[in-house]
Amino acid sequence: MARGGGMSEELKSCPFCGGESEVIKGHERATSREMRLFYRVFCRACQVRQLFHRSRKSAITAWNTRAGEENG
């Protein structure tokens, strides 16, 4: 039997090097007093990183459609 319809959050490997990618979770400073959660995907092999995303799903979707959003 095939996988049961759960293709919502499948993380693809790195489009640049084919290496293993991973979602990491962290915090950014929203205001001087508030920290906000963010998610980003990065490649363990070539260290390509995403910009911050508000949700895990958003990060994965962005990675799968267009990895390497890194600016600078």
Interaction site with Zn ion (CB under 5 A): 14, 16-17, 19, 43, 45-46
Q: How far is the CB of 51 from Zn ion (least distance, A)?
A: 16
Instruction: State which residue, 16 or 28, has the beta carbon closest to Zn ion.
Output: 16
Q: Return the ∠ at Cα 39 (arms to 55 and 33), rounded to 5°.
A: 95
Q: How far is the CB of 48 from Zn ion (least distance, A)?
A: 5
Strands 21-29 and 35-43, bridge-based pairing: antiparallel
Q: How far is the CB of 42 from Zn ion (least distance, A)?
A: 9
Strand locations in the chain (E): 21-29, 35-43
Instruction: State which residue, 17 or 62, has the beta carbon closest to Zn ion.
Output: 17
